[in-house]
């Protein structure tokens, strides 16, 4: 229902984080649509996308056998359960965030060098 707002959300974006519940089959299908709309249409690199499979507290989520559709299986995937490993999730998010900042800085430097030369 908010699809008309998507272009504004995507404008000048440098990365996408998709959070989903891996225990809901409908979410596995929906993330394909989110990836298509927010990553492939930008176009963003795989390294600019992070998938977070969020497991609810107390769930016995299978972190080993999650099968994702083709373009999604190449993306960085982390499993989160804030009750059990909040620090791991924070560290993975910080690594992702640093990679986005590095990418932005490198792009800006290339643009400046092309203007100078």
pLDDT tens-digit series, residues 28-49: 889 998 898 888 888 889 899 9
d(CA 89, CA 81): 8
pLDDT given for residue 94 in this prediction: 95
d(CA 44, CA 50): 11
Residue 117's pLDDT band, with cuts at 50, 70 and 90, is confident
Q: What is the CATH number of the domain that holds 76?
A: 3.40.50
pLDDT given for residue 62 in this prediction: 58
User: 45 and 10 in contact (C-beta within 8 Å)?
Assistant: no
- Cα distances from 6 to residues 9, 26, 42, 74, in angstroms, run 5, 21, 11, 24
pLDDT given for residue 77 in this prediction: 92
Strand partners, 29: none
Number of separate domains in the chain: 1
The predicted-structure confidence for 59-94, as pLDDT tens digits, reads as follows 665 556 677 878 888 899 999 887 877 888 899 999
Query: Judging by beta carbons within 10 Å of its beta carbon (0-12, 13-18, 19+), is residue 56 exposed, middle or buried?
Result: exposed
Q: Which domain holds residue 28?
A: 3-116
pLDDT greater than 90 at residue 50: yes
pLDDT given for residue 14 in this prediction: 92
């Amino acid at each position: 229902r908010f699809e008309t707002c998507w272009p504004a959300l995507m404008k000048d974006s440098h990365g996408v984080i998709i959070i989903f519940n891996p225990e809901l089959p409908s979410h596995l299908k929906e993330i394909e649509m989110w990836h298509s709309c927010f990553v492939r249409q930008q176009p963003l690199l795989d390294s600019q996308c992070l998938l977070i499979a969020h497991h609810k507290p107390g769930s016995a989520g299978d972190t080993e056998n999650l099968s994702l559709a083709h373009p999604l299986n190449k993306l960085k995937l982390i499993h989160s359960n804030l009750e059990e490993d909040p620090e791991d999730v924070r560290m993975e998010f910080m690594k992702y965030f640093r990679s986005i900042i590095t990418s932005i800085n490198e792009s800006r430097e290339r643009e400046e060098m092309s203007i100078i030369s």
